[in-house]
Amino acid sequence: MNEIELKFKVNDYNKIYQKLLQMGCIFGKKIVQRDAVFFHKDNKNYDINFQTIVIRTRIIDDSIKQVTLKRRMDDSCACREIEFLVENTEKVDEFIDSLGFVKTIEFTKERMQTTLGEFNICFDKIDELGQYVEIEIITNDNNIQQYKNKIINFASYIGIDINNIESKYYPQIILDKKRKVKI
């Protein structure tokens, strides 16, 4: 499965939220996600480039536990993704460690989600980073540019400044921010 996703930094997502409500979107309840991100021990700089594999464990509202493996594809907005639920995240952490991956970063995100046609839309608030709107399309098709263009057109239509595309994953943004503070 290919996940084509664009993330947009926004100052206030209320206007976008209101536009989507007018279009008939129904949002799920706000959830809290606690993520732990694992990079391979050989990836000393924690870079996410073409073919980089990152593993994430996620606890949603202190109950649902999920594991995701992501591998970056050619384009920065596309990745292969394998995701599944687990019962015991401690055992998963031990398993991931035995594969040579190290827990690198942890962060908490508040998220509200909705869908409209083929678009999955998430409103994210991350304490360290601010507010973002993610728009994704899940497909088996490999025509990444076609889906990227669809997302950009849709984002513009619902009032997002398409010049504020963020191509990095949240963990990479947080790590880059921490590196700048150390300098």
**Residue position matching structure tokens 């088996």:** 140
One DSSP character per residue, 45-85 reads T----TT-EEEEEEEETTTEEEEEEEEE-SSTTEEEEEEEE
Q: How many C-beta neighbours within 10 Å does residue 36 have?
A: 19
pLDDT digits (tens, 9 = 90+) for 17-70: 999 999 999 999 999 999 999 989 988 777 776 778 889 888 999 888 999 888
Cα separation, 180 vs 172, in Å, equals 12
Structure tokens, 124: 């994210």
The rounded distance, in Å, linking the Cα atoms of 84 and 57 is: 10
Distance, CA of 95 to CA of 121 (rounded, Å): 32
Sorted by where each starts, the structural domains of the chain and their CATH numbers stand as 2-182 (2.40.320.10)
Encode pLDDT of 63-116 as tens digits.
889 998 888 776 566 678 889 999 877 788 889 999 999 998 999 999 999 999
Report pLDDT digits (tens) over 111-154: 999 999 999 999 999 988 999 999 999 988 888 889 999 999 99
**In angstroms, rounded to a whole number, what is the distance separating the alpha carbons of residues 144 and 73?**
10
Structure tokens belonging to residue 130: 């601010």
Interatomic CA distance for residues 25 and 161, integer angstroms:
20
Reported as type and span, the H/E element at residue 9 is strand 2-10
3-state helix, strand, coil in the chain (%, to 5): 25, 45, 30
What's the whole-model pTM score?
0.83
